[in-house]
Amino acid sequence: MKKIILLVLLSACTLISCNDSVAQPSGERISGQIYLYGEQHGEEKIMNKEFELWREYYTNENMRHLFIELPYYTAEFLNLWMQSDSDTILEEVYNDLAGTAMGVPHTKEFYKMFKKDCPKTIFHGTDVGHQYNSTGERYLKYLEANNLKDSGQYLLAKETIEQGKQYYGQKGSIYHLCQLQQMY
């Protein structure tokens, strides 16, 4: 029973949004709202509903920070892509998702909707280091090429990659998932 509850809780944390008034430039912290949505990966109908909800919060509530169930480095690449003039980064991320539930054509279109209609969205990855051999390693190389090897970004990417290696090494046991969630 505990395993089922934990799995439901983890799957419910797939889409989290918060009002960016939570962290003020002055450093002052005020309370904000957080919305949690669960979903089944790669389902077009569900992804469209998620985007519809986000667009409403983005437009009417001025929300900008979107927490997604992807690794830290994947979200960082999506943020870089949002600022770029091409879809090269998105294509690379999408290609890395091949063989997963998110490796469906609608995934690309889903993220393109953000760039088109909600261009100030900032993605935050919350998942363990899936695709650590591809997306994770490519992000480390990006940081190294930009003289960011000593940055917090590099450290967090390395930690996320290590989490992914541990997760897959232990076949994703429930116990290990609890350990990973406590690290954040």
| pLDDT higher than 50, residue 15 | no
Write down the pLDDT at residue 34.
77
Amino acid identity at 80: L
Write down the pLDDT at residue 74.
98
Write down the pLDDT at residue 146.
98
| pLDDT higher than 60, residue 4 | no
Write down the pLDDT at residue 39.
67
Mean pLDDT of 10-25: 44
pLDDT digits (tens, 9 = 90+) for 84-109: 999 999 999 999 999 999 999 999 99
| pLDDT higher than 60, residue 9 | no
**How far, in Å, CA of 99 to CA of 66, rounded?**
25
**How far, in Å, CA of 164 to CA of 151, rounded?**
20
**How far, in Å, CA of 11 to CA of 119, rounded?**
26
The residue ranking higher by pLDDT, 149 or 21, is: 149
- Alpha helix positions (H), 42-151: 44-60, 72-83, 88-96, 105-117, 137-145
The strand order across the sheet containing 34-37 reads 34-37, 15-19, 63-71, 122-127
| pLDDT higher than 90, residue 13 | no
Write down the pLDDT at residue 19.
46
pLDDT digits (tens, 9 = 90+) for 122-174: 999 999 999 999 999 999 999 999 999 999 999 999 999 999 999 998 865 55
**How far, in Å, CA of 12 to CA of 4, rounded?**
12
| pLDDT higher than 90, residue 38 | no
pLDDT band with cut points at 50, 70 and 90 for residue 40: confident
| pLDDT higher than 70, residue 7 | no
**Mean pLDDT in the chain?**
83
